[in-house]
Amino acid sequence: MEVHPVVMPYACDSRARVAGCCHAIEMDDTVNLPGNVRLSDVATMFVTMNDGDWQTAREAAERVYASEPLRWIAAPALAEIAIHNGDNEAFARIIVAAMPAGPATEPGSKIYTTSVRLIQLAVLDAMFSGDAGGVAAWIAALERWLTWSGAAVGQAELSIARAIQAFMTGSMGDVELFSREAIQQSSSPRRPTMLATAKRTLALALMERGRVSEAHSEAESALAIARSCHNRLEEGLCLLLLSEVQRRLLSADQANQTRESAVTILTALGSVAWLSFSEHTHIRSEATPLPQLTRREIEVMHLVADGRTDAEIAASLDVSRRTVTTHLSSIYAKLKVSSRAAATRIVVERGLI
């Protein structure tokens, strides 16, 4: 069955091929997999996930996941839905079940394809929470797994993970470098959805470096690829970025319309994580009044600026790590940022610490 390993990653922009594979499975769905799982459930899971029918994808994935021998197939799909829907507990359960040692899980000790995909998703999850240490740990794990395997598949994902890490530290030059690497790595052999992600990431880097016209071209290209793949999540993310590029091109009305389209898609998917992240990503201009931080939030930022971890901050202030996370989330929301580095830069520049 080639839907998962071949058609969706390499030919999802060929709807005839996708439809042909699914039709063949439906016409001869006589194979009962372990746990009486139907082969059509596996195909349905991947195709509907791509096409944005996440409810159907989740239902199919849950049926597959219920069969212990097949959990490795369904785990990434359920994990991805959980991340985007903001269900951190569900994501954590899947990660713990598949990789009990977390980033320290030894290469080869678990199913390779599932482990690599879950590691990529863990990088994304850490980015959403502003956990730079978590991003670094999972990237190191991905590097170990790819080195151990010698596989070419996964290299583009590693480059995107490194771009995420660079973004969190404000190193836009490195974001551009890594995204261009990802474009090359996903172009030969061509993996269209991955290519769209790489081009979207490049557009972000170009925009933040002030090369807005170039960013507009890359964002439009990424959007066209996402639409050719019928990938609703990537389409929504491309539109979200394109709206910001249009805003910087002083096309306010067009930017608002594009953002509305993006929000419609992402809301339908339930992708609250990306919507929340987008609200906190872009730093306010110097002319914009900065929301007032509480005394405790300023104390937290003093310790963040000193390079303290969440655990160290919690010990210093005699509070729980959860309380520290809550303070940081509040700070990020007020400052419209998504990382410790960006928050530190603003409070230092504005003389708050």
Distance separating alpha carbons of residues 81 and 64, to the nearest angstrom: 15
Split at pLDDT 50, 70, 90, the class of 31 is low
pLDDT in tens, 260-269: 999 999 999 9
Average pLDDT over residues 252-272: 92
Average pLDDT over residues 93-97: 95
At which residue do the structure tokens 């910001």 appear?
A: 244
* pLDDT of the residue at 197: 97
pLDDT in tens, 107-136: 988 888 899 999 999 999 999 999 999 999
pLDDT of 347 above 80: no
Split at pLDDT 50, 70, 90, the class of 291 is low
What is residue 187's DSSP assignment? B
pLDDT in tens, 275-284: 888 877 653 3
* pLDDT of the residue at 34: 80
* pLDDT of the residue at 35: 77
* pLDDT of the residue at 215: 94
Tokens found for residue 323: 């309380």
Instruction: Give strand pairing partners of 190.
Output: 187
* pLDDT of the residue at 11: 56
Max Cα separation, the chain?
Answer: 68
Split at pLDDT 50, 70, 90, the class of 90 is very high
pTM for the full predicted model: 0.74
Instruction: Give strand pairing partners of 38.
Output: 32
* pLDDT of the residue at 272: 87
* pLDDT of the residue at 344: 86
The larger pLDDT score, comparing residue 16 to residue 337, is at 337
Distance separating alpha carbons of residues 329 and 340, to the nearest angstrom: 10
Average pLDDT over residues 319-324: 93
